[in-house]
A and B are shown apart, each in its own frame.
Chain A
Amino acid sequence: MTDTELRQAGDSAPAAPGGPARTPSRKLNGSRRRTFGPDTTKGTIAKIVLLGLVDAVAVYVLMMLFLSQSWGALAVSAVVVAAINWIYLRKGGLPAKYLAPGVLFLLVFQVFVVLFSGYIAFTNYGDGHNSTKDDAIAAIQLTAQKRVPDSPAYKAAVLSKDGSFYLLFTDPDGRTSLGSTGTPLEQVSGAGTDSTGKANALAGYRTLNFQEIVANQQQILGITVPVSADPADGTLRTADGSSAYQFKPALEYDADAGTFTDTDTGSVYRDNGKGAFATDSGETLTTGWKIDVGMENFARAFTDPSLRGPLLGVILWTFTFAVASVALTFALGLFLAITFNREDLRGKKIYRILMILPYAFPAFLSGLVWSGILNPQFGWLNQTLLGGATIGWLTDPVLAKISVLVVNLWLGFPYMFLVCTGALQSLPTELDEAARMDGAGPWRVFRSIKLPLLLVSIAPLLISSFAFNFNNFNVIFMLTGGGPRFADTDRDIGATDILITLVYKVAFGQGTGRDYGLASALAIIIFIIVATVSAISFKQTKALEEVNS
């Protein structure tokens, strides 16, 4: 038995996912550049049909992008389509043919998303800062239009003359008047009326039907008819083409100065540089816009008093949770794997199936079920097993942490059991025999031979398990929701919150409104932590391999 053989045995498990792509490229690198003969007819037909399908879809997408005038997306799509055709039509370049689809998916679903959330981390995107400044100004102007108190409700009809639109109004007393944006309200007589007494026709003008009104809605919605020479009377507008009301803006926008002025109090709202309009005394208008804020979100993560205190505790608990989860599940999984790996055990298959069951349930479902089981008064654990005790499994800070770990152990050990069983079975039995011949006891065999060999293949899985548990949102959120809450913060953060649930609460939580910018910044911090830990651990794993070789 040589070390090389052992290494291969150990190598085989983690190599599986990257396998298909790697094998041929190695072959190519190994041999001289191969010339490709003409494809067989079948191959050529398959190529033409599949590439034709791709291109047909691509042309459709490109056309749609062209029509919607999304030039950026159009350029990117065109380049991608050209690249795909080039890759699959040229001879050779086999690795590219393998990798193209995967790389495409990677770019769309991973790289783009990561870059985008990276960008968000440097903005104040969130509630109240939802869109562009222009949108915010438009929205403020829209909501600032108030109906003039005690003003009459008018019925309205839309007329046209020489290509411009007019509104024909009927007030509650039956008087009719006509006006448009440039032409103030003017009494008219002799208008034709419909059965409800609403004026709907006037000599010299054409009456629009509903379809025509809808077709020209942007112009018609833009009509503002001054009620009188006094601007305080406001303007008449229609929203539906059949009724009109007198509106007056509560805030007036000065496009040159870029300010809003309150028409009642005269206070002026200016761009305060933080993505909102504010007066000098600090009164802000509710609707703001998204701006770049540089490193502010990162600074806030560490300086905001309501976040700083709990953040340290949360980071510590996140590490505890992730490390303890990996250690516990690995210990139990390995123990069970060794126990059930005995050749002479009867009913081994049934035991194994039973063991894997928790793995088969979705984690968020199990979390909910366990939160019911652990209810202090009505939960099955207290009521049936502990004879009516009222232990706050999820409501006491320390017990809640233990409960979370236990439930996660229950959820996670089958995975470790599976991979350990697989790795154990790949270990040659001769090793075992040889060690016993040399007089080693079972514990010695396990500690000095089996465990080191197992670790070579399983260590990378432990690292990925750490990364998974570091961000194990489902268990925490469904079981405790992060609670019980800390008393020393006004944010909704609790004893079992890990970083990812904290981020979720910041981004979507009810506590302070949504804050995507801060949440993205926290997500980047999490990424840095996980990446660092993983990088160090992988280095250690390499050392492990070298020790064995």
Chain B
Amino acid sequence: MKVQNTLTNGTSRRVFTAGAISVVAALALSACGGAAATAPATATAKPDLKASGASTITMWVDAERSPALKDITAKFQADTGIAVKLVVKDFAAVRDDFITQVPTGKGPDLIVGPHDWVGKFVQNGVIAPVELGDKKAGFQDSAVKAMTYNGSVYGVPYAIENIALLRNTDLVPQSAKTLDEVIANGKKAVADGKAKFPFLVGMDPKQGDPYHLYPLQSSMGSEVFGKAADGGYDPKQLLIGDAAGVAFAKKLAAWGDAGEKIINSNITGDIAKEKFLAGESPYYLTGPWNVPDVQKKGIKFAVDELPTAGDKPAQPFIGVNGFFISAKSANALATNEFVTNYLTTEAAQDSMYKAGGRPPALKASFEKAASDPVVAAFGKIGAAGVPMPAIPEMSAVWADWGATELALIKGQGDPAADWAKMAASIKAKIAG
């Protein structure tokens, strides 16, 4: 009996200790949550700021952009005493996190992202307009246009991105204007045994890639949405199903697997890049984000204008990165000061270009960056581009658009019928 007793006593103590440790852990976990939420109130600033809880600005950035902002935030803190806290978030999730967290009051004051988020942000009531005033004139027109939604500017642009045609100059020395010439050059390189693929563009195996194919489409006069009176896209005017669109659909089938095999549905983005880096194709339709790897590989290349498939200019979609202010920012005045009077300066845009390598949206900074011929060439093509539609209705377009294009490239279905069906489906989705 004595033995039994000591045993159970020992057990109960061990049990107690294990239990208590778990509870400590549980409470520590919840305490971390609490501490994180209250942390912004404890930065260094003058006393009156601390009292009003306005001594920091919180900004959500992704890992890539974060270093680009170090200089300008340090200057802002030196000038005003207000610290800009950069919170690094996963780029894939940051948009939806922002939309869900702003209404709770726990969201950031500022977020960095591409302009086509604006529609969704406004739909959910999470961002405030920014008045740039005279500073507007300093930015490239296309950048400000992209940031304008329903007649108001919603973000301060800092970089513009668009695609272009990379040409391996060893394989094809001369540039071409039309897609037909490009195809002919590419096929000749293949026939001469210098290359394996006449033309490369990455296709998502599930969704195709309407973004990369859009310049070809626009060169045939096909657009997604018409323009409203204020210059923005009008969701009521869905133009994609018009005659020009159908003509493009027919061409797509002709370029695809069952036709000339210029656009190959089995070539993913990774495969396309790999093949171009291996020197197996003279042409690669892509954006500036793949240029550093091409340069590293030592491939001699030129940035060509986008080839036309019709008689209109080939307009790529341009994506403009910028800063957006939360509609529920508790420190809106300081945030506005930082955004409109610091992030718009030449020094800020220069340093962001230096750290991030994306062509600046500010004209003065862009001109400096354009001493690099690659930046200049991409910028020239972007100037002719159109902003990617930011209206929320655009998200109803992508899936159908991509899937239909992919099916046509694979040689499935009838171009005219499928394209009309796609347009009807998108229209039904927009109507809700």
Contact = CB atoms under 8 A, between A and B. Distances in A.
Interface of A: 24, 34, 36-37, 39-40, 42-43, 46-47, 50-51, 53-54, 57-58, 60-61, 64-65, 67-68, 77, 84, 88, 94, 97-98, 100-102, 104-105, 108, 127-128, 130-132, 135-136, 138-140, 142-143, 145-147, 153, 210-217, 220-221, 239-243, 245, 250, 286-287, 306, 371, 375-378, 390, 394-395, 480-483, 485, 490, 492, 508-514
Given A131-B125, A286-B123, A215 B52 contact: yes
A105 B16 contact: no
A240 B206 contact: no
A76 B55 CA distance: 32
B52 A50 contact: no
Contact of B12 (A94, A211, A213): A94
B123 A128 contact: yes
A145 B20 contact: no
**Interface secondary structure of B, over-half rule:** helix
B61 to A, nearest CB: 21
Nearest to A101: B22
Given A147-B131, A220-B333, A61 B16 contact: no
B332 A239 contact: yes
Interface string B244-261: 000000000000000000
A251 to B, nearest CB: 11
What 10 A-B pairs come out closest when comparing CB atoms? A139-B125, A101-B22, A131-B103, A377-B266, A217-B333, A50-B20, A490-B425, A130-B124, A240-B336, A239-B336
A283 to B, nearest CB: 11
A490 B427 CA distance: 10
Given A47-B20, A215-B49, A371 B205 contact: yes
Given A130-B125, A378-B266, A146 B151 contact: yes
A211 B28 contact: no
A50 B26 contact: no
B122 interface: yes
Contacts of A94: 12, 15
Given A88-B16, A142-B129, A212-B48, A513 B395 contact: yes
A87 B236 CA distance: 64
A57 B27 contact: yes
A43 B13 contact: yes
A216 B334 CA distance: 11
B4 to A, nearest CB: 10
Contact of B82 (A98, A130, A214): A214
Interface in B137-151: 150-151
Contacts of B35: 64
A413 to B, nearest CB: 26
Interface stretch (B183-191, B211-219, B397-405): B397-405
B58 interface: no
Contacts of B297: none
A61 B34 contact: yes
30 contacts: A36-B12, A46-B13, A46-B17, A50-B17, A57-B24, A64-B34, A64-B37, A68-B38, A94-B15, A97-B12, A97-B15, A101-B19, A101-B23, A108-B26, A128-B123, A131-B102, A131-B125, A132-B103, A139-B126, A143-B125, A211-B49, A212-B48, A215-B52, A217-B331, A286-B122, A377-B264, A378-B271, A390-B266, A395-B205, A492-B403
A142 B12 CA distance: 62
Contact of B15 (A24, A58, A490): A24
A485 B206 CA distance: 8
A390 B395 CA distance: 33
B268 interface: yes
Given A97-B19, A287-B123, A39 B13 contact: yes
B267 interface: yes
Interface string B316-332: 00000000000110011
Contacts of A65: 34
Given A139-B126, A145-B129, A239 B429 contact: no
Contact of A375 (B21, B25, B266, B336): B266
B54 A215 contact: yes
B295 interface: no
Interface residues of B, number: 85
Contacts of A480: 206
Nearest to A492: B399
Contacts of B410: 395
A214 B151 contact: no
Given A239-B336, A240-B341, A376-B266, A140 B403 contact: no
Given A43-B16, A139-B327, A245 B133 contact: yes
A97 B12 CA distance: 9
Given A241-B333, A245-B131, 19 more contacts: A37-B5, A42-B13, A57-B24, A57-B27, A61-B34, A64-B34, A88-B23, A108-B26, A127-B124, A131-B125, A136-B125, A153-B133, A211-B80, A241-B337, A243-B131, A287-B124, A376-B266, A378-B267, A490-B429
B128 interface: yes
A377 B11 CA distance: 64
Contacts of A378: 266-267, 271
Given A101-B22, A213-B333, A47 B123 contact: no
A215 B82 CA distance: 11
A3 B191 CA distance: 78
Contacts of B100: 130
B357 interface: no
Contacts of A100: 19, 23
A53 B22 CA distance: 12
A511 B425 CA distance: 11
B383 interface: no
Interface string B370-413: 00000000000000000000001001101110010000001000
Contacts of B428: 306, 490
Interface in B116-170: 120, 122-126, 128-131, 133-134, 150-152
B392 A513 contact: yes
A480 B30 CA distance: 38
B416 to A, nearest CB: 16
A61 B333 contact: no
Contacts of B131: 147, 239, 243, 245
A128 B124 contact: yes
Nearest to A155: B133
Contact of B206 (A60, A287, A483): A483
B20 A54 contact: yes
